[in-house]
Structure 1
Amino acid sequence: MWASIFHRKRRAKADLPPQVRYNLPIEILYTVIPLVMVSVFFFFTARDSETLTKVSGDAPVKVKVEAFQWSWRFTTTYKGKTIEPVAGVPVSDYNQGPQLVLPKKTKVEFDLSTDDVIHSFWVPEFLFKRDVIPGIPEDNPGRKFEITTLDKTGTFAGRCAELCGVDHSRMLFSVKLVDQTEFEQYIATHQAGSAQ
């Protein structure tokens, strides 16, 4: 009651504040600055995207990655030798899922494909993530990317980074980086059609 009585509007003539319209320099400034910012961002994004997604085709190790609900299948080719595909099932720990073995400090070309829904291939230590989209033909460069693996050995977690269904959180795998000699032994013992 006190607020409604003591703060009611007075009946005195209210003067309007001065009206400012069409301040052309400010309107130009508010238009030009965002345009310049967007242009600069676009230039650097386009330049860096082209560099990051460039595929030379001369990688000594090529990996075909097939994503499916809710695991992965990896087929590795090295010097004309293809190893038996490594596949998995949904797991709760990345050490239980399929393991991709790669040599350390080596350029690797990945070819991603899926037949069901959108997935996303992600190994955080590689600092690169790529969506796996169904229906993209084999000759489309958007399916492939190249990285040079880390210069240290170890096992690194990988996962799907795109919500792809009920067992998305269990779509885990691991990448094991090994020395070159150990990788060549791995290829020799796991080559497709070889006795293990």
Structure 2
Amino acid sequence: MVAVGSAVALSGCSQATVEQWTRWGLPEAASDRAPFIGNLWSGAWIASMIIGVLVWGLIVYAIIKFRRKSHDETPKQTQYHVPMEVLYTLVPFLIIGVLFFFTVQAQNGVLAKTEAENPHQIDVIGQKWSWSFNYREAANPAVGSDAHTVGTIESIPTLYLPLNKPVRFNLQSADVIHSFWVPDFYFKLDVIPGHPNSFDVTPTKPGDFLGKCAELCGTYHAQMVFNVKVLPEAEYNAAIKELAASGQTGDLVAPSFPTTGPKKEG
């Protein structure tokens, strides 16, 4: 009945919507780390549905089996039921243990460093209330210099990424805790003042995406968004060269004490 009802409900939806439902609401994956989180997400939903059906079945069974048959009938009273008490004590621990095991596996997968020798490196600074990006491309012969982009509330920054090439993000905060998130990558990581974080990812889908802050960080948290452009490597190199040619060179650094934005060294 559930399968038939689902098929009828989805028959009036677009193909894109149907595909999203098959991913349990997740967008189409756009990074090499997405399968770890995607599999964990799907597995959790499937496990939850199985547990839910079991619990609903037991509730219906109890309603039918032990329903009151007459006004004079009094249900049998018991002080305790050891097998039942053991069951509802151990089962939650079993569920938690299984979820913990697969969560750790997914975490290890998304946080694993790339085996590539020289990944593209981008330093990300979160500040109230936007993002700044340092492109470390001085050693890249196709670019030849570092470049940066500074975002503001009035000017949404664009993050350029090379398609099918590993990128190492180095995260720092200029003030409070932020969280760097590209939903299509199925991954986010906190940006904590005084505690640099780092992760590697390889974009696997070209196009434009939206990034945002996933941590309630202050007054204009909702405006901490940025655009993401995943381009073939040649186009990525050209975009970074254009930034450098426009004068956006030099290092942006997160200050030692809270402020409202990064500062340019020198």
If the length of structure 1 is used for normalisation, what is the TM-score?
Answer: 0.77
Look up the match of 1:170.
223
Q: Is the 8 A contact 2:147 2:240 kept in 1?
A: no
* Residue deviations 1:7-46 (CA, integer Å, cap 9, x gap): xxxxxxx998643113111111111211211111111111
- In structure 1, the gaps of 5 or more residues are 1-13
Q: Is the 8 A contact 1:100 1:174 kept in 2?
A: yes
* Residue equivalent to 2:162: 103
Q: Which residue of the other structure, out of 119, 127, 149, is the alignment partner of 1:86?
A: 149
Matched-pair identity in %: 37
From 2, 18, 41, the equivalent of 2:99 is 41
Correspondence for 2:184 among 125, 132, 151: 125
Task: Give SS of 1:62's match.
Answer: strand
Gapped regions of structure 2 (runs ≥ 5): 1-71, 250-266
Task: Name the structure 2 match of 1:149.
Answer: 203
2-structure distance, mates of 1:102, 1:195: 17
What CA distance in whole angstroms lies between the structure 2 residues aligned with 1:194 and 1:166?
31
Structure with the largest fraction of strand: 1
Mean Cα displacement is larger for which, 36-45 or 75-84? 75-84
Query: CA distance change for structure 1 residues 195 and 121 in 2, over 3 Å: closer, same or farther?
Result: closer
Structure with a larger share of its residues in helix? 2
SS of corresponding position for 1:166:
coil
In structure 2, the CA distance between the partners of 1:174 and 1:15, relative to structure 1 (3 Å rule), is closer
* Contact 2:148–2:243, Cα closer than 8 Å, also in 1: no
Deviation at 1:168, TM superposition (A): 1.2
Deviation string, structure 1 residues 148-172 (Cα, Å, up to 9, x no partner): 11332x2222111211111111112
Report the CA distance between 1:185 and its aligned residue.
2.2
Shift of 1:101: 1.3
